[in-house]
Structure 1
Amino acid sequence: MPHIKNALIRYRVIDKALGNKYNPYPNKMDLRQACEMELYGDSSGKHISDSTIEKDLFAMRHEMDAPIKYSKKFKGYFYENPDFTINEKPLSEDDIASIQFALSTLSQFKDTEMFQNFGFALNKIIDRVNVDADARKSETTNIEEYIQFEQSLAIQGNEYLQPLLLAIQNQHVAYFTYESFITQIKKQRKVTPLLLKEYNNRWYLISYDSVKEGVITYALDRISNLEIVEQTGEKPIDFQADRFFKHAIGITASANSRPEKIVFIASNIAGKYIKSQPFHASQQVTEENDLETKFELFALVSEELIRELLSYGGDIQVLQPEGLRNELIKRIQKMNDNYGLKTS
């Protein structure tokens, strides 16, 4: 199994190298070094031979229909179809059969406590595999013409998920470079990873910073040069992930923040959407008629909540708390200014 896994990883590395427009026509040495760096962290040539790369190229051509060609002019390999990638290759019948067997086993446990947090993701995989299988039965070759699944565009940093997960499990220290969204300044960080959390198809690291003496959130797509060291890190004694995010909407949370009672009115149509996709688990309907619906929830006032409320435009009116209401008024006035509108 490790040999098969390593081969699949090499295929992905080769695929990425062949599709790199900024470094075209990689030769066998380039591909070997890229694979060694990915698998072993060095490119000395001790682990992967040129013959292994040749076998990988052969397998990709014949098993994945990869249009790999060799350029005598540039002395390197390339995809004859520049848009090709094995990431978009449809599943084979054997792939589908194997995945369906695994999913049939997992689906028996998806309602248990251990799998409840992953139920949505598991259902999404099951749906996709079933769609591919049905498409093959009906000889449909381009299923994207009929059904499209949501895709994440923020994949940078996802390669850090596994090492960070191991760091959390072992309570090891992580070093990395982090770029601020606001200042674009990169700084070195030393933290103890506590939790990985997904929000809006983007992954975040919740960690303890002993220098700042607090729990800090970092987006994985702004992390670089990650290094995990086998040193036991500091961890807040009272940190519990479910309690830390109990009142959060999105990724914003703090041990020092306090939730507030939030009351708002939504138009009839907007109210139906909000009831079907609640902002927070505490949300409830307190009044309802043919024209509008009144909601209450108990949560942290965060940037994520503000953006959710603003996305409904004039179909929502926040009644309390006053601070949230004033912040929305300020942003709406700024929007008016941006479009040259005057408020009476």
Structure 2
Amino acid sequence: MANSKHAHLRYNILDECFRKRTYRFEELLNALNESLEIHYPNEGISIRTLREDLKVFRDKKNGFGAPLLENARVLKYSNPNFSIAQRPLLEYEQYLIDAAQQLLERFENDPKYDKLAEALIKFQDEEDQQENDSSKILFYDHNEEYRGIRYLKPLYMAIKKNQVLQVNYKGFKDVETSIFEFHPHILKQYNRRWFVYGLNKTKGIEEWSIPLDERLVEINMLEDVEFIKSNTNWDNFFRSMVGVVRPANAAIEKVVIRFHNGRESYFKTKPFQPDYEEFFEEEKQNQVWFETIINKELVQQLLSYGQDLEVIEPEHLKRQLREHSNIMQQFYS
């Protein structure tokens, strides 16, 4: 087995190197150590360790079976579509997954265990299907066309390390790409997509959101630029709205809604606004209220209930729903 100290990080770095360009052995060693330095200062690897890693990559039985030619002067995948991420787990990697599951069982009475256990189960289910041709057990809600997930880890690390970014962004209706200085602060998931929030220094706007999808063209680190931390209480920021879009100068308002056909029970099992309140009056048992800003995501959630939901207040929100209803009626008249 190759040197296990930060082995998985090395494998990911090497995998990216082999997919992007051609390296001589010495160049590859330098590139690998430069990347390792970011995560593990002063812990570079030796020539021997790199040679062992290359054996793991080439080994078809106990390794990744990567398309790397033997005794070649340069190193690059002969198949540009190959990635070790597509390969089944190695034997000792499966051991680590099993050990992690056993370790997490110690925290099963802690709410954080549930999310970790769910992630491991999803991962294991995918691996079982790939390795053993097993029938699928889990059918969970995910977006197979979503490509923005590749930005999640780089942005997560940038936030942890207080790194300033240069962002290239092109909206769906934009003619040209815009470039701005961005100080990332938090990541938020909504409706099976990720968004990053932070300071758009170029525009001077705090709490700027960027969707992690094809509109995010490129991100690059800006060296020697001081990172500006956020003063926003992000917990309160998101609890006062539905979704991710916060219109400029949006005010928090009281929203009252009435349910029909018993749909209030469904809402209470999965509320789109967690801080809702119920009325005590007998005649209002099918109503709830909450305080929030009015945005498109709120309107979409209300519309999703169709004829089973009625907005009582505010008046301008009632008008919005009425306009939507009138337009939809024209579609089906």
Q: Is the 8 A contact 2:108 2:114 kept in 1?
A: no
Counterpart AA for 1:123: A
Q: Is the 8 A contact 1:288 1:294 kept in 2?
A: no
SS at match of 2:279: strand
Superposition pairs for residues 1-344 of structure 1, below 5 Å? Answer: 1-11=5-15, 17=19, 55=55, 58-59=58-59, 61-63=60-62, 77-78=78-79, 87=85, 89=87, 91=89, 94-109=92-107, 121-128=115-122, 141-153=132-144, 155-183=146-174, 185-210=176-201, 211-221=203-213, 222-223=215-216, 224-236=218-230, 238-253=231-246, 256-268=249-261, 270-286=263-279, 293-337=286-330, 339=331, 341-342=332-333
Question: What percentage of residue pairs aligned between the two structures are identical?
Answer: 21
**How does the TM-score come out when normalised to structure 1?**
0.69
Alignment RMSD (CA, Å): 4.4
Unpaired runs of 5+ residues, structure 1, are 18-25, 42-46, 71-75
Cα separation, 1, equivalents of 2:205 and 2:140: 41
Q: Is the 8 A contact 1:263 1:318 kept in 2?
A: yes
- Render the CA deviation track for 1:57-92: whole Å, top value 9, x for unaligned: 523x3236769699xxxxx8349xx9x975455556
Aligned residue in 2 for 1:22: none
Cα separation, 2, equivalents of 1:162 and 1:184: 29
Unpaired runs of 5+ residues, structure 2, are 36-45, 70-76
Q: CA deviation at 1:206?
A: 0.7
Q: Is the 8 A contact 1:154 1:202 kept in 2?
A: no
Structure whose residues are more often strand by fraction: 1
- Render the CA deviation track for 1:250-271: whole Å, top value 9, x for unaligned: 2124684322221112233533
**How does the TM-score come out when normalised to structure 2?**
0.71
Cα separation, 1, equivalents of 2:30 and 2:301: 45
Number of residue pairs aligned between Structure 1 and Structure 2: 306
Cα separation, 2, equivalents of 1:231 and 1:321: 45
Moved more, 177-186 or 152-161: 152-161
Cα separation, 1, equivalents of 2:153 and 2:113: 20
Change beyond 3 A, Cα 1:242–1:108:
farther
